[in-house]
Every structure is written in C-alpha cells, then in structure tokens.
C-alpha cells in the first residue's frame, strides 16, 4: 500500500482520488481490476472499466448475422471483450464462425477461459490478452466489433481536452490496424466512442451501412477531434462500416 501511495503522489492524484482508488482495490474483483488499470495506465488502454453483461447488444448482433456468412472459415474479432459475454453471445448468432475475444486486462481473459471450459471447450472460440491487433495477419477477419471501448468515463464531464485519458493518435493507430486485418467486404462496428471514425485517415476505405441514431433523450457522448480538443455540440459517427472492395477504393 505504501508503494501505491508513493505512485499516486507521483501521478499527482488528489487525496479524494487516492481514497477512491484504494477503496476499489480493497473491494476486489472487477472493481480492483479497473482501479489498477487506471493506476497503471498501460500503453494501449482506452476504456478502463470492464462493464458488460450477457445479451448486451443482441439486437445489433441479430442484424449483423444477416450480413455475415456463418461458416467455419468466417473469423470474428471482439476487441475489448472484457470477461467474454460478447463472445459467447456472438457464438449464439454465429454457430460455425471462429470468434476471438481480445482484452488488455489479463484477469478478464482468465475469466473468459474459465467460462470457455464451463461451456465445454468450444474449439472455435479463443481469447487473447492484448492491447492491439498489430500481430494479426492482413485481411483475416470478416467482422470486428469494438463496443464501448474507445471511450473513458472521466470524459463524461466534457473537459476541453481528452489527452490525459485518451489520445486520438492511439485511436487512429488501432483503426488503421483494423482496416488492415479486415477482408474486403468485412464489417467494422464501433459504438460509444469519444472520437469519430470519419476523422481517421483510413475512413475513405469504408462505406457506412448503418449509423447509430440519436434522439434528444439519448445520452450525449462528448466527441474530441484529431487534436484531442472537445468538439462542442458535435455528435459521434458510431455505426457499422463495410470495407470497400479493393477496386472501388
């Protein structure tokens, strides 16, 4: 705990923030994991919280199942899979596809493998602790989902800059890799992001199939530009994007 206190001082945490951090660590489980992620801030971290639940995006997955051919050669990636609920939900809609879940927090990935064993060791499901997809082969996936990953809870108050928590350059780096590992015609799904996909340098490679709809009652997600500054009054462009065939770029 003394080491934790010294590191918090170096990071210039307030006494209140330090107390909250210590409380979350003592609570254990996912509270502890999220608190330690916030404290360590490993390279590649976006959303530190692993909030998830079964069937969270069922209507979206049902819609996607009509566009993606479900066969053994189909490969799906759940980026930021937390404890695996999204992966196991995907497996209900895609009964033959190979599905991989990736998360930056090793304890969450261990939980994924525990459930994988309880579910009967399905060989078409896999999990990996990673912060990016840099090691993945080009054009190897038909579908990539990144749901509530490219965001941070600390930005809910709409600070003028986001660079203390998230950087557009990191977001764009991952999106560029997504474009690399998606096959032509493959789909990329982004939801609840603090950045706009359309601001990335690879957005021209994609066409939008469906944009998330917003109403006056929708909770507004603050959006930040390429310079990490708040874009007041600007809505995000979350949605489903299809990678164009190579001859149409």
Q: Which domains does the chain have, with CATH numbers?
A: 2-40 (no CATH), 58-248 (3.40.50.150)
CA-nearest of 220, 230, 104, 236 to 163 is 230
Burial of residue 160, with CB atoms counted within 10 A of its CB: 0-12 exposed, 13-18 middle, 19 or more buried: exposed
Q: Is the pLDDT of residue 6 over 60?
A: no
Q: At what angle do helices 15-27 and 2-10 cross, to 10 degrees?
A: 140
Q: What does the pLDDT read at residue 217?
A: 46
Q: What does the pLDDT read at residue 19?
A: 56
Question: What are phi and psi for residue 75, nearest 5 degrees?
Answer: -125, 130
Q: pTM value?
A: 0.84
pLDDT in tens, 155-189: 989 999 999 899 999 999 999 999 999 999 999 99
pLDDT in tens, 84-121: 999 999 999 999 999 999 999 999 999 999 999 999 99
pLDDT category at 33 given cuts 50, 70, 90 is: low
């Amino acid at each position: 705990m003394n080491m934790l206190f010294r590191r918090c001082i170096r990071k210039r945490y307030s006494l209140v923030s330090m107390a909250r951090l210590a409380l979350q660590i003592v609570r254990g489980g996912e509270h502890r994991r999220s608190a330690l992620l916030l404290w360590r801030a490993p390279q590649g971290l976006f959303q530190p919280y692993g909030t998830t639940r079964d069937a969270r995006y069922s209507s979206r997955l049902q819609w996607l199942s009509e566009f993606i051919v479900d066969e053994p050669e189909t490969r799906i990636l759940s980026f930021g899979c937390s404890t695996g609920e999204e992966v196991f939900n995907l497996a209900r809609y895609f009964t033959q596809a190979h599905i991989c879940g990736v998360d930056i927090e090793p304890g969450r990935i261990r939980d994924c493998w525990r459930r994988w064993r309880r579910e009967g060791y399905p060989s078409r499901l896999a999990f990996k602790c990673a912060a990016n997809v840099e090691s993945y082969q080009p054009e190897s996936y038909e579908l990539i989902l990144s749901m509530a990953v490219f965001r941070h809870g600390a930005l809910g108050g709409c600070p003028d800059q986001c660079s203390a928590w998230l950087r557009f350059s990191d977001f764009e780096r991952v999106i560029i890799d997504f474009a690399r590992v998606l096959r032509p015609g493959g789909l990329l799904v982004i939801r609840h992001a603090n950045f706009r996909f359309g601001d990335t340098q690879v957005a021209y490679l994609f066409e939008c199939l469906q944009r998330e709809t917003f109403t006056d009652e929708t909770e507004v997600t603050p959006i930040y530009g390429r310079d990490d500054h708040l874009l007041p009054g600007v809505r995000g462009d979350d949605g489903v994007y299809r990678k164009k065939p190579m001859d149409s770029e």
